[in-house]
């Protein structure tokens, strides 16, 4: 049934080879169609849109989104209002709880040039004959970075959505590995006693910019970044590990976190992860390399 819906849509719209690279919204594994989502001609509905939060960043990749659609919906059209096109995502099986509805889900990404401010995501059900239902609207907010990406070689960024005290730990490649975190906020290693300090090595190092909400002294920032600045920044080559340590939730019940990695000042993230921490994540030792492993990436 999923394939039939897509074949119908292709037949109606003609052969489409546009990969949607000019669109502000991109959807992994979906088919792109230029133009606005067609007007409703069928009484089928997307009944829910679910995502961990409605805050995004320019260049964010692989944000999870899912929901439910009437049982006659064989696909869902996703697009931003006033974007250059939309995407078709096949629906899944019948939902185990809402037995008259189907599940759907997608990984969505956003262009690095997308403007800070409000966005409106549209999701419309599509039936097996290629007819569209009315759009279901979801408000999104594009949040600016606290850190500027201009003149940076590598930026590893952690942000979160409540007034908790989370800590970014970045484990660098090398032997022995070096962890950049609040207790060691630079990748520079002091020389042995009697050896000279190398100013070039200091300039080449990555630096943690701030310990946000430290000890629950709330600063409202909720973002920490490890930054290698150009032109002298020299991140080591190899595999990096990025961890999120939940030092304290500071009376919040949860904190949803996002990790993004940026290279050469480009606002399009080269690696992305997100998740939610709870009180149990505050337990244990808070030492170098502790916490939840968010992602690894190669540089």
Instruction: Give the pLDDT score at 161.
Output: 85
Residues 133/40, Cβ–Cβ less than 8 Å = yes
Instruction: Give the pLDDT score at 43.
Output: 96
Instruction: Give the pLDDT score at 19.
Output: 85
Does residue 277 or residue 12 have the better pLDDT?
277
Per-residue b/e over 43-72, b at no fewer than 16 CB within 10 Å?
ebbbbbbebeeebbbbbbbebebebbbbeb
Provide mean pLDDT across the span 64-91. 95
Percent of the chain with pLDDT over 90: 69
Of the candidate ranges 114-128, 143-157, 186-200, the one whose mean pLDDT is the lowest: 186-200
Distances (CA, A) of 271 to 16, 141, 263, 266: 29, 21, 10, 12
- Token duo for residue 243: 């961890």
Q: Is the pLDDT of residue 1 over 70?
A: no
DSSP assignment of 202-259 equals HHHS-EE---TTGGG---S--EEEEEEETTT--PPSSEEEEEEEEEE-TT-S-EEEEE
Instruction: Give the pLDDT score at 146.
Output: 78
Q: Is the pLDDT of residue 254 over 80?
A: yes
Per-residue b/e over 205-231, b at no fewer than 16 CB within 10 Å?
bbbbbbbbbeeeeeeeebbbbbbbbee
CATH number listed for the domain at residues 2-142: 2.60.40.10
> pLDDT of 193-230, one tens digit each?
888 888 888 899 999 999 999 999 988 889 999 999 98
Provide mean pLDDT across the span 222-251. 95
User: Computed over its alpha carbons, how large is the radius of gyration of the chain?
Assistant: 22
Distances (CA, A) of 124 to 12, 35, 141, 236: 17, 14, 20, 46
Q: Is the pLDDT of residue 165 over 70?
A: yes
How far is 230 from 146, CA to CA, in rounded Å? 18
Q: Is the pLDDT of residue 10 over 60?
A: no
How far is 168 from 131, CA to CA, in rounded Å? 47
- Three-state DSSP string of 97-116: CCCCEEEEEEEEEECCCCCC
Residue 16 — pLDDT band, cuts 50, 70, 90? low
How far is 13 from 225, CA to CA, in rounded Å? 45
Q: Is the pLDDT of residue 3 over 60?
A: no
3-state helix vs strand vs coil in the chain, percent to 5: 10, 40, 50
Does residue 35 or residue 192 have the better pLDDT?
35
Q: Is the pLDDT of residue 236 over 50?
A: yes
> What average pLDDT does the structure give for the chain?
90
Q: What are phi and psi of 295, to 5 degrees?
A: -165, 165
Does residue 17 or residue 11 have the better pLDDT?
17
- The contacts of residue 52 (CB under 8 Å, 6+ apart) are 64, 256, 274, 276
Domain boundaries, the chain: 2-142, 152-298
DSSP structural state of residue 170: E
- Token duo for residue 254: 């949860």
Q: Of 51, 48, 47, which is closest to residue 60 (Cα–Cα)? A: 51
- Token duo for residue 255: 């904190």
120: left (phi over 0), alpha (psi -120 to 50) or beta: beta
- Token duo for residue 290: 């502790």
> pLDDT of 57-68, one tens digit each?
888 878 889 999
- Token duo for residue 38: 């067609």
Question: What size, in residues, is the chain?
Answer: 299
Strand (E) or helix (H) holding 200: helix 199-204
Residue 54 — pLDDT band, cuts 50, 70, 90? confident
């Amino acid at each position: 049934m999923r394939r039939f819906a897509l074949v119908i849509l292709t037949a109606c719209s003609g052969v489409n080879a546009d990969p949607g690279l000019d669109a502000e919204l991109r959807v992994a594994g979906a088919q792109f169609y230029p133009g606005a989502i067609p007007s409703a001609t069928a009484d089928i509905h997307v009944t829910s849109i679910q995502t961990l939060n409605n805050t995004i960043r320019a260049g964010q990749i692989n944000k999870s989104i899912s929901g439910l659609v009437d049982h006659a919906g064989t696909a869902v059209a996703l697009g931003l209002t006033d974007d250059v096109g939309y995407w078709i995502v096949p629906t899944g099986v019948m939902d185990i709880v809402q037995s008259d509805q189907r599940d759907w889900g997608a990984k969505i990404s956003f262009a690095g040039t997308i403007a800070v401010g409000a966005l409106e995501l549209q999701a419309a059900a599509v039936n097996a004959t290629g007819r569209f239902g009315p759009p279901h609207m979801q408000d999104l907010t594009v949040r600016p970075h606290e850190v500027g990406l201009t003149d940076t070689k590598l930026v590893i960024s952690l942000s979160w959505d409540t007034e908790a005290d989370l800590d970014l730990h970045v484990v660098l490649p090398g032997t022995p590995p070096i962890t950049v975190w609040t207790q060691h906020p630079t990748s520079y290693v002091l020389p042995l006693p009697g050896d000279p300090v190398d100013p070039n090595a200091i300039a080449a190092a990555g630096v943690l910019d701030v310990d946000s909400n430290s000890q629950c002294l709330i600063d409202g920032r909720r973002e920490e970044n490890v930054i290698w600045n150009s032109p002298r920044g020299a991140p080591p080559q190899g595999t990096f590990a990025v961890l999120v340590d939940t030092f304290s939730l500071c009376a919040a019940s949860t904190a949803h976190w996002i990790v993004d990695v940026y290279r050469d000042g480009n606002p399009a993230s080269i690696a992305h992860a997100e998740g939610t921490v709870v009180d149990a994540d505050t337990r244990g030792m808070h030492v170098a390399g502790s916490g939840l492993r968010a992602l690894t990436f190669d540089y």
